[in-house]
Amino acid sequence: MDFELASRTRRLFAAWIDGIFYLLFSKLGLLVIGIESKDILHLYLYSSKQLFLYSIWLLLCIFLFYVLVPTYIWSGQTIGKRLLSIMVVKATEDLVDLKTMSLRTIFAFGCQLNLPILLQVLGIMYLVDLLFIFRKDQKTLHDLIAKTKVVYY
């Protein structure tokens, strides 16, 4: 089957939708752990058990939203991609698997680590990743690493 590449705009809006859902679940994690949003900066400055638990919660949310759901529930689709009728496929146009989706999600996983220098480096890499969308083939850095592309379905 020959898929048409999804537009940059549609990919952007899908990422925003996914980000909103991720933000809602991250706030739910704060409530469960008993942390108020205003206390987050304090936790990052003074590491604690609550920060560790919150980081684990964030990693679990990322793994659920960006790896498990697109691999086993909606064949290459996150919530945002499903709402906007786009999907991730391998460069060979096969459906994605656990390894492929894990590779695509590597930047999101890394950004949840609470290591200040690593966080800055990953932030720069994430920006570079986003700017790759302007290549002719519209593949971001995570698409190139995982050998995927985002298409209309």
pLDDT tens digits, one per residue of 13-68:
998 898 899 888 888 877 777 766 666 656 655 556 777 777 788 888 889 999 99
pTM attached to this predicted model: 0.77
**What is the model's pLDDT at position 43?**
61
**What is the model's pLDDT at position 45?**
56
Report DSSP letters for 64-109, one per residue: IIIIIIIIIISTT--HHHHHTTEEEEETTSPBP-HHHHHHHTHHHH
Domain map of the chain by residue range? 8-152
Tens digit of each residue's pLDDT (9 = 90 or more) over 81-129? 999 999 999 999 899 999 999 988 886 666 555 555 666 676 777 778 8
